[in-house]
Amino acid sequence: MAQEALGKLCRTYWRPIYSFVRRQGSGAEDAEDITQGFFALLLERKDLNTVRKEKGRLRSYLLTSVKNFLADEGRRALAVKRGKGQRLIPLDDIREGELVDVERSDRLTADQIYERRWAFTVLGQVMTRLRDEYRSAGNVRFFDQMKKMLMDEPDRPSQAQVAKEFDMNENAVKQAFYRFRQRYQALLREEIAHTVAMPGDVEDELRYLISVVRA
């Protein structure tokens, strides 16, 4: 189970590693192969419990590991070779994702890019889980409006607009949004808890993630 858990986390957080490798100067194809090879070796040699005991935070552990990995020319060459034959990580949309924040990325270091990719991946995972919960209850349209309110998107609706759309009173919308925000925060802490060793590390990691997003 621990190995399966690490495998799931690797598949989830491939983008920060790939983005770091790209920023270090690797071409798109080589970066894909290096990313695949890096995770293949990690999964062979480690499990999630080992990672937690060694470093505490998966975010920091993976960044340190990939730096050491790239510094070893022999392992890098092996990664490129192995990566061509192993597709452990879903890279189908990788080049499309690279188009996001291109100008900003040019002004960031490889470490900063990694941290931002990591933070937004965590937030994306949380929002996906929350959407799945609303979908199961048949409330996807309502989720979409709650998300706009939470993320302060340009087309953010007012409580009055949501109340009219769903034939609710504004107080009911206010309460629904409060529950939405509370559930989002609970899932965020739960998601972060999967990447740290000690429960006491969750709040520190949460504060750090927020600081990265706001930077």
User: What is the percent of the chain with per-residue pLDDT over 70, rounded to a whole number?
Assistant: 76
Which one, of 85, 90, 92, 71, lies nearest residue 24 by Cα? 71
Greater model confidence, 132 or 47 = 132
Mean pLDDT of the chain: 81
Greater model confidence, 78 or 212 = 212
Q: Choose one of 100, 125, 142: the last residue of a domain.
A: 100
Mean pLDDT computed over 64-79: 79
Domain of 117, in residue numbers: 110-215
Which one, of 165, 144, 168, lies nearest residue 156 by Cα? 144
The structural domain count of the chain equals 2
Q: Choose one of 55, 74, 100: the last residue of a domain.
A: 100
Helices and strands per DSSP (H, E), number in the chain: 13, 0
Q: Is residue 126 part of a domain?
A: yes
pLDDT score, position 103:
43
pLDDT score, position 61:
86
pLDDT score, position 187:
95
Are 48 and 141 found together in one domain?
no
Q: Is residue 53 part of a domain?
A: yes
* Neighbour count for residue 12 (Cβ, 10 Å): 18
Are 69 and 137 found together in one domain?
no
Q: Is residue 171 part of a domain?
A: yes
Are 129 and 166 found together in one domain?
yes
Report how far residue 193's alpha carbon sits from residue 206's, in angstroms, rounded to the nearest whole number.
10
For 112, counting Cβ atoms within 10 Å of its Cβ (0-12 exposed, 13-18 middle, 19+ buried), the class is middle
Are 45 and 114 found together in one domain?
no
Report how far residue 146's alpha carbon sits from residue 130's, in angstroms, rounded to the nearest whole number.
11
* Neighbour count for residue 28 (Cβ, 10 Å): 14
Residue 14 CA to its chain's centroid (Å): 8
Report how far residue 90's alpha carbon sits from residue 187's, in angstroms, rounded to the nearest whole number.
23
Query: Residue 95 pLDDT > 60, yes or no?
Result: no
Are 23 and 78 found together in one domain?
yes
Q: Is residue 105 part of a domain?
A: no
Mean pLDDT computed over 67-79: 77
The pLDDT-based confidence of 96 (bands split at 50, 70, 90) is very low
The owner of tokens 């609706």 is 157
Are 117 and 96 found together in one domain?
no
CA angle 18/63/89 to nearest 5° reads: 35
pLDDT score, position 33:
82
Q: Is residue 162 part of a domain?
A: yes
Least confident of 67-76, 77-86, 101-110: 77-86
pLDDT score, position 48:
58
pLDDT score, position 71:
86
Mean pLDDT computed over 172-182: 96
Q: Choose one of 45, 73, 100: the last residue of a domain.
A: 100
Greater model confidence, 85 or 213 = 213
